[in-house]
Amino acid sequence: MSKSERAPTQCPIGRTLERVGDCWTFLILRDASQGLTRFDQFEKSLGVAPNILTKRLAALVDSGLMEKRLYQRRPPRHDYVLTDLGRDFGGVLTAMLAFGNRHFAPEGAAGQLVDRETGRVAEPIVVDRVSGKPITPELFAYATGPGAGPEMLARVAFMAERRAKP
């Protein structure tokens, strides 16, 4: 189903995918989180066609993940800088890096996070900020939030019903 055919959703994963749900967008955000800001830098790093890059950068600006800043007037040139919202997406990229290294790198990690002070390789996990517990299916369950409407209530009830059946 294409974006235009999909009904709006309350699902936080679905809403996020509506804004960043293709590989070029993820890779632009990856490169921006590493300090790239200019169109030609993204184009060179990604090997993406200019029309595709233009479209993805515009969508990232429209969704509030990046901000377009003029750095040259003649001819007009812009930096594309992560906003607070865009920087907050870094946790998603970190989780994907860890997942990719764990499951799709039989030759070993080609890229990894290291502690800036010690050089020790990081082992990212997702944890609950309040308790410090790792987020695992054994410790945490998906539940509706205070803003859940009928669609979300029905989906979570359906999932709970399916889990309850042997």
Tens of pLDDT, residues 58-114: 999 999 999 999 999 999 999 999 999 999 999 999 999 999 999 999 999 999 999
Which residues touch 65 (CB under 8 Å, ≥6 apart)?
Answer: 19, 20, 29, 82, 83, 85, 86, 89
Task: Share the mean pLDDT of the chain.
Answer: 93
Length of the chain: 166
What's the pLDDT at 164? Answer: 85
Q: What is the pTM of this model?
A: 0.87
What residue segments make up the domains of the chain, in order of their start? 9-88, 125-166
pLDDT at 1 over 50: no
Which amino acid, 97?
L
Q: What residue has token string 């070993």?
A: 108
Is the CA virtual torsion 114, 115, 119, 120 positive or negative?
A: negative
Q: Which CATH number fits domain 9-88: 3.40.50.1000, 3.40.30.10, 2.170.150.70, 1.10.10.10?
A: 1.10.10.10
